[in-house]
Amino acid sequence: MIDTLAVVGATGAVGRIILDLLATRKFPAKRIKLLASARSAGRPVRLGDAMVDVEALGPDSFNGVDLAIGSTPDEVAAEFVPWAVERGTVVVDESAFYRMNPDVPLVIPEVNLEAIATHRGIIASPNCSTTQMVMVMKPLHDAARVRRVVVSTYQAVSGAGLAATRELEHGTASWLAKQAEEKQVFPHPIAANLIPQIGSPRPNGFTSEEMKMVLETRKILGDESIAVSATCVRVPVANGHSESILIETENKLTAAEARRLLAGFPGIVVEDDLAAKHYPQPRTASGRDEVFVGRIREDISSPNGIALWCVSDNVRKGAATNAVQIAEHLAKHGLQGAGRAART
């Protein structure tokens, strides 16, 4: 049990799911404090059976706060996290800002829970598309050592926030009515379309989203030798990211062995019966916390390849749920990290 937990970004799409999870999972905190931008200050937000007023985020917001979960843009995290750490608060941060900092553990609890103990006040939660891929890679890596991954993502608009979801809804209505579509979030119409760019361009021709999958995967699994090639695509799906993945291992795995390993891994559900048309889909994965895997087959173009399809709710396991799981571990096992002095 901890005294005070703060949720930063409590009024955002992911922040609201965090609040639902804290209530339904009965998070062990005596008090939960809600923080957001000044324009949201004073707004009542539901937390379980109660309504709690949002407070404006500022340096003194973390006085007396033991643990914080942050779901904010990178530039906000860059500002508020030091405020919190200076006041002795441990932060579970969902932004990309601290993920590749060598002093900050990047954690998926089912994959590298032990990394939490190395924190120095900050624990990062990975990118949504990375999280579901690494969940699938982990049992195969442990059994046969993953050498190379080729992944194509089909990422839902919810990953770009509430405004993006509204843009899909309004854009679809306009497209069906053969009217002009307004673009505010995406550079091109998203309705009835695919946009093969998520994030900013990088000098090597990849995007920032694609490079997150490369770099974060290696850090989480602790193996810089894993080769990853990613193509990230925004698709006109409301919620739930899908990925087509080819995993090449050092040692041969059959499809049956891969299926068994995946089915036995915590947080993964195997839905794999092609003849019965049974496989993961965004509409059935939405609202769930697991990673769903199907279409598991031995690749016919490489001797040690396993091809598969996975789907996960990107705002839950890809964001809110993963952060809450980290916070639950801290609340149960103590906030102290190996590289952190005790609060005085």
CB atoms within 10 A of CB 269: 18
Candidates 143, 161, 152, 98; CA nearest to 125 is 98
Candidates 267, 314, 269, 317; CA nearest to 296 is 269
What's the angle, vertex CA 235, arms to CA 231 and CA 238, rounded to 5?
Answer: 135
Beta-carbon contacts of 112 under 8 Å, excluding residues fewer than 6 positions away, are 105, 106, 220, 221, 222
Cα–Cα distance, 29 to 7 (Å, whole number):
12
Which residue is listed with tokens 């949002």? 54
The pair of structure tokens assigned to 233 is: 């695509």
Query: Do residues 61 and 37 make contact, with C-beta atoms less than 8 angstroms apart?
Result: no
The pair of structure tokens assigned to 157 is: 């608009």
The yes-or-no answer on residue 241 being catalytic is yes
Q: Which of 119, 141, 232, 241 is the catalytic position?
A: 241
**Cα–chain center distance at 37:** 22
Cα–Cα distance, 83 to 106 (Å, whole number):
20
Query: Do residues 143 and 253 make contact, with C-beta atoms less than 8 angstroms apart?
Result: yes
Q: Which of 128, 141, 232, 310 is the catalytic position?
A: 128
Helix, strand, coil in percent for the chain, rounding step 5:
35, 25, 40
The yes-or-no answer on residue 278 being catalytic is no
Distances (CA, A) of 306 to 97, 130, 136, 279: 33, 18, 11, 16
Write the DSSP string, 47-116: ETTEEEE-EE--GGGGTT--EEEE---HHHHHHHHHHHHHTT-EEEE-SSTTTT-TTS-B--HHHHGGGG
The pair of structure tokens assigned to 89 is: 């608060």
Active site residues: 128, 241
